[in-house]
Structure 1
Amino acid sequence: MSLDDFAKRIDRIAVRVEGNVERAVKDCAGAVLRSVVENTPVDTGMARSNWTPELDRAFEGLFPARVPGKAGSAEEENAAATIEAGTPTIEAFDLAANREIHITNNAGHIQALNDGHSRQAPAGFVRIAVLEGLATVRGAKVLKE
């Protein structure tokens, strides 16, 4: 094998590694988004509707409930709408252009919910979502022959 052939092979491997790392980042963020959305306690849907992914910065806005309801009546609809709205941002992540995916919630009561204020979800559901995201990519092969 010539030095040129070896260099070309290494370049092809590097492109595959980058693609596999990028996919792992997207899969992890997608799992975190799904988990945190699905485990956020619901009354009006506002807290659940405000999980927002952004590339390279934290989202600073605030949304009303995507599907307004009372006493959790639009729980599943808000989850689906929030995940659907956030997925394109996660899928737009490009390892060459981006450094991070932030998943933010600016609802004023999100910390209280995460602290266990609601009986609908355990305290620390955000941490649980992060652990679920990491479990999704644990064992991911970034270098495949």
Structure 2
Amino acid sequence: MAGLDDFAKRIDRIAVRVEGNVERAVKDCAVAVLRSVVENTPVDTGFARSNWTPELDRVFDGLFPVRVPGEKGSTAEENAVATIEAGIPTIEAFDMHDNREIHITNNAPHIRPLNDGHSKQAPAGFVQVAVMEGLATVRGAKIVDD
């Protein structure tokens, strides 16, 4: 039965690698979505851009103040960097054994109108585009390796 035992051990090793690859793909997808949605959120004061928040297994229900206060988009890049840097550790903490979902939420009262195209800075549907970009990031991910 050594042949079956060896086969079972090999399958177990493959399963561990598959699980790790799937977990990495989930994280890479979430980071891509976060980056895209943050970078494409129109900016005046930075409030909407500062409020993209990833959470594990729950929807964030709060609001943050502007991370880097400014006017007329003067701190757009700084707010993007600060928001992304604040969110990545939460995404990287995702563990398939402990977590089921990564939610990326924005509770700014005007986020829906912004996504509907009420700003000339971004086309309508930038949130949906971010999700598609996240999916494209992992479309070619290698889940099973040799």
Code of the residue aligned with 1:92 in structure 2: it is A
Code of the residue aligned with 1:19 in structure 2: it is G
Equivalence map 1:105-124=2 (5 Å):
105-124=106-125
Structure 2: distance between partners of 1:29 and 1:117: 26
Deviation at 1:95, TM superposition (A): 0.8
- Calculate the aligned-residue CA RMSD, in Å: 0.6
Q: Name the SS of the counterpart of 2:7 in structure 1.
A: helix
Structure 1: distance between partners of 2:110 and 2:129: 18
Unaligned runs of 5+ in 1: none
Structure 1: distance between partners of 2:64 and 2:44: 15
Code of the residue aligned with 1:58 in structure 2: it is V
Unaligned runs of 5+ in 2: none
Match of 1:60 in 2: 61
Q: Name the SS of the counterpart of 2:55 in structure 1.
A: strand
Moved over 4 A (4+): none
TM-score by length of 1: 0.99
Structure 2: distance between partners of 1:142 and 1:22: 9
Residues 33-57 of structure 1, C-alpha deviations (whole Å, 9 max, x = no match):
0000000000000000000000011
Count how many residue pairs are aligned between Structure 1 and Structure 2.
145
Structure 2: distance between partners of 1:141 and 1:81: 31
Taking only the aligned residue pairs, the percentage that are identical comes to: 81
Match of 2:105 in 1: 104
Q: Name the SS of the counterpart of 1:72 in structure 2.
A: coil
TM-score by length of 2: 0.98
Residues 99-141 of structure 1, C-alpha deviations (whole Å, 9 max, x = no match):
1100000000000000000000000000000000000000211
Q: Name the SS of the counterpart of 1:54 in structure 2.
A: strand
Code of the residue aligned with 1:135 in structure 2: it is A
Residues 43-73 of structure 1, C-alpha deviations (whole Å, 9 max, x = no match):
0000000000000111011011100110001
Equivalence map 1:1-145=2 (5 Å):
2-145=3-146
